Structure 1
Amino acid sequence: MKEIPWERVTQKFLPVCNQNSKVLILGTAPSLKSRENQFYYGHPQNRFWKVLAGVTGVALPQSNEEKKAFLLAQGIALYDVILSCDIQGSSDSSIRNVVPTDLSTIFQTTGKIPIFGNGGTAFRLYQKHQQKITGIPMVQLPSTSPANATWNLERLIEAWGKELQVFL
C-alpha cells in the first residue's frame, strides 16, 4: 500500500457570512477535492450540500456561486476551525500541527450566533482552540463525509434538521 504524503494545508477560502446569518457551521479543513474545486465541500461524495438542501427544502445548488448564494439566503454562515495544518490527503484523523482560524471577524459581521460542527474532529478542535475565546458552545452534528458510512442521507437530514430548523 502506497503511503499518502503529508502536506501543509492553509485555508484559502473566506468565510461565507453576512449580517443575516443565523447559524455558523464549521468544518475542519478543505479536502483535496474542495481545494481543487475552490470551495467548501467540493467532493461529489460529501453529502453536505444534499443535507442542507434537504433540511431547508431548497433545490440543491450546483456552482460555487449558487452554493454561496444558497448559504446566505438560508441564513447559514460557513467556515472551518483550521487555518492551517499538516494532513495526509483528506483524512481528518491524520490532522496535526493545527493553527486555528480566527472567528472574530465572522462574529463582528453576524453577532453571536449558534455554532454547529460538521463531525467529531471539527467539534474537538473547536473545543480545544476556539470555545474559550468565543464563549459559544458548539453543537456536534454527524459528519457529512462519505467516510461516515454509518449515517445514510436520510438520517443525516433528520439529525441536522432537528438541530438547525429551530434557527433557520
Structure 2
Amino acid sequence: MKAAYTPVGPGFAPLCGTHAKALILGSFPSPKSREQGFYYGNPQNRFWRLLAFITNAPEPKTIAEKTALILQNDLALWDTVQSCEIRGASDASMRHVQPNDVAALVRRLGVQAVFCNGAASGRVYAKYAQAAAGIPAVVLPSTSPANAAWSMERLQQAWGSELGKYINNV
C-alpha cells in the first residue's frame, strides 16, 4: 500500500547573499531536511560532500558551515517548489505544486547560471520559471540516495564540469 499524500510547505527561504553567480535548485525539502530545518538534511544525501569536493573545502557538518560554503563561493541555494502534496520523500509523487518565484530571485541576485539538482527540479523550473528568468537550467543528476545509479565519482565529474566554472576558488 502506498503512503498517503501529505500537504507540505512552505519550504525554506533562499540561502543567498546579495548576489550570486550560480543558483542551485532542489525540488522540495525532504522529510529529514524539514525535521532539521535546513537544506539536504538527510545524511545519505551526497549534496554537501559533493559541494565540498567541487569547492576544495572540508565537508560542512553544521548549518553555519553549510551556509558559509554557499556564501563564500558566491552561490545561492533554493527549491523550485514552495508547497505541494507529496508521498514521503518521492519527488515523482509531487502534485498540486505551488512554485517559488525563482525568476525574481535570479533577477535580484544577478545569477548567471541555474543548476537543478535532479529531473523533478528541472521540470518545475522549466514549467514555471525558465521563461521569466531567461536562463535555461543545467539539469544535473540528483544527489539523493535514491539515485543509486550515480556513484559519487560520477556525480563529482558531472557536477564539477558544470558548476565548477562558477566556483570562486576553482
TM-score under structure 1 normalisation?
Answer: 0.94
The offset of 1:3, in angstroms, is 3.0
2:73 corresponds to which residue? 74
Taking only aligned residues, the RMSD between alpha carbons, in angstroms, comes to 1.3
Distance in 2 separating the partners of 1:12 and 1:82? 7
Q: Distance in 2 between matches of 1:68 and 1:32?
A: 20
Following superposition, the deviation at residue 20 of structure 1 comes to 4.2
**After alignment, is 11-20 or 31-40 more displaced?**
11-20
Q: What SS does the corresponding residue of 2:155 show, helix, strand or coil?
A: helix
Contact 1:18 1:109 in 2 (8 A): no
| Residue number in structure 2 paired with 1:164 | 163
- CA shift digits 1:49-104 (9 cap, x unpaired): 01101111100111112111111011110000001110001001101111110124
Alignment-derived partner of residue 55 in structure 1: 54
Asked whether the equivalents of residues 8 and 85 of structure 2 are also in contact (C-alpha less than 8 Å), the reply is: yes
Tell me which residue corresponds to 1:116.
Answer: 115
Q: Is the 8 A contact 2:70 2:76 kept in 1?
A: yes
What is the rounded CA distance, in whole Å, between the counterparts of 1:48 and 1:112 in structure 2? 20
Partner of 1:32: 31
Residue type of the alignment partner of 1:35: R
**Per the alignment, in what secondary structure is the counterpart of residue 127 of structure 1?**
helix
- Write the distance in 1 (CA, Å) between the matches of 2:4 and 2:100: 24
The answer as to whether partners of 2:21 and 2:110 remain within 8 angstroms in 1 is no
- Whether the 8 Å contact between 2:17 and 2:71 is mirrored in structure 1 is yes
Contact kept, 8 Å, 1:25 with 1:77, in 2: the verdict is yes
Give the Å deviation of 1:11.
2.8
Structure 1 Cα separation of the partners of residues 67 and 16 of structure 2: 9
- C-alpha change, 1:145 and 1:52, in structure 2 (3 Å) is same
Relative to structure 2, which stretch is displaced further, 79-88 or 7-16? 7-16
Q: Which string of whole-angstrom CA distances, capped at 9 and with x for unpartnered residues, describes residues 111-146 of structure 1?
A: 132100000111111101111111110001010001
- The answer (yes or no) to whether the contact 1:20–1:72 under 8 Å persists in 2 is no
Aligned residues between the structures: 167
Structure 2 SS opposite 1:16: coil
Q: What does residue 100 of structure 1 align with?
A: 99
- In the alignment, the residues of structure 1 paired with residue 19 and residue 67 of structure 2 have an alpha-carbon distance, to the nearest angstrom, of 13
- Aligned equivalents of 2:71, 2:153: Cα separation in 1: 24
Give yes or no for the alignment of 1:126 onto 2:125: yes
Identity, % of aligned positions: 46
Alpha-carbon distance in structure 1 between the residues aligned to 2:45 and 2:98: 24
Question: Counterparts of 2:114 and 2:15 in 1: how far apart (Å)?
Answer: 14
When normalised by structure 2's length, the TM-score is 0.93
Aligned partners of 2:83 and 2:97 also within 8 Å? yes
In 1, Cα distance between equivalents of 2:30 and 2:110 = 28
